[in-house]
Structure 1
Amino acid sequence: MREDQAWPTVGVISTKILLSETFDRNAITALRHSVASCAGAAGLAGDRLDDFVVAVNELLTNAVRHGGGTGRVAVWADDGDVVCEVSDSGTGLTAARPEPAVRPPADTPGGWGLWLAEELTDTFEVVTGDNGTTVRVSSRSSLSPP
């Protein structure tokens, strides 16, 4: 995707952007640490923070492996939630995801990323098509009221 093209998005992105950048496989480790720092500063802690970071790492890895080698990540705070959106410019998902999501068989070597991201976060949205895939996840901050 050219720099002057817009990355697809699931919906409106909050103005409280904590992190926004393009990435490739060489940036995933550093991004994971940046996501942990941003999400922690926005109020995620303990297991909720760890789960959010694992979910985002799965999305970053999927974007590189299956989405054309590069992607775009944005993290923001929105009304007590920490939200992350990962977009790629691949050819989209090849098969429809079942609703509700089904855990992959234990002996399957792949196919765990999206399922795990959905399991570890409070919300999960995916938009896919010929121009790429965008996944948005969020987790409720421990600093926000229930």
Structure 2
Amino acid sequence: MGDPVRGESMVYALVSDLAAVRAFVAARAVALGLEPARADLLTLAVNELATNTLQYTREGGQVQLWTDSGDLVCDVVDQGPVRAFGGGMPPPDAVRGRGLAIVEMVCDHVAAFASNRGTVVRMRLGLA
């Protein structure tokens, strides 16, 4: 998919950028009409994905937010592999693997795909 950049975006490249990413997502989501409690959940999901970007890729990533058809849409774009969703929550004694499950739990819809910009994880949350 050759998706263009939409809405407002923020680039991140360092672990020290994560606080700014969280602040950006929380503020933009509320400004675009998402309820504050749901904006907190989206912020958690984006933090999980951005942390994965910084742990598993050499480059940073980009977060974008916009509205479409009654939803808030948020893309996290990086140069890593397309993530596999649908694995569910790992067992309580697992050391890793909860991040993608958390993303799926807090968003209404999640899709991952390759685009000309890199790998995209697109999250949608209803505004109503």
Pick the TM interval, shorter chain. Answer: 0.7 to 0.9
Q: Write 1 or 2 for the structure with the bigger share of helix.
A: 2
Percentage of matched positions with identical amino acids = 33
Kindly indicate whether the alpha-carbon contact (under 8 Å) linking 2:61 and 2:78 is maintained by their aligned counterparts in 1: yes
Is residue 137 from structure 1 mapped to residue 126 from structure 2 by the alignment? Answer: no
Is residue 108 from structure 1 mapped to residue 94 from structure 2 by the alignment? Answer: yes
Residues 20-59 of structure 1: pairs in structure 2 closer than 5 A: 20-24=9-13, 25-59=15-49
Task: State TM-score, norm by structure 2.
Answer: 0.83
Q: CA deviation at 1:32?
A: 0.6
Q: CA deviation at 1:69?
A: 4.2
Q: State the 4+ residue runs in structure 1 displaced beyond 6 angstroms.
A: none
Which residue does the alignment assign to 2:84? 97
Q: 1:69 to 1:34 in 2, by over 3 A?
A: same
Q: CA deviation at 1:27?
A: 1.3
What is the RMSD of the two structures over their aligned residues, measured on CA atoms?
2.5
Kindly indicate whether the alpha-carbon contact (under 8 Å) linking 1:68 and 1:88 is maintained by their aligned counterparts in 2: no
C-alpha distance in 2, partners of 1:112/1:23? Answer: 22
| Residue-pair matches, total | 126
Q: 1:36 to 1:61 in 2, by over 3 A?
A: same
Task: State TM-score, norm by structure 1.
Answer: 0.74
5+ residue gaps in structure 1? 1-9
Which residue does the alignment assign to 2:113? 127
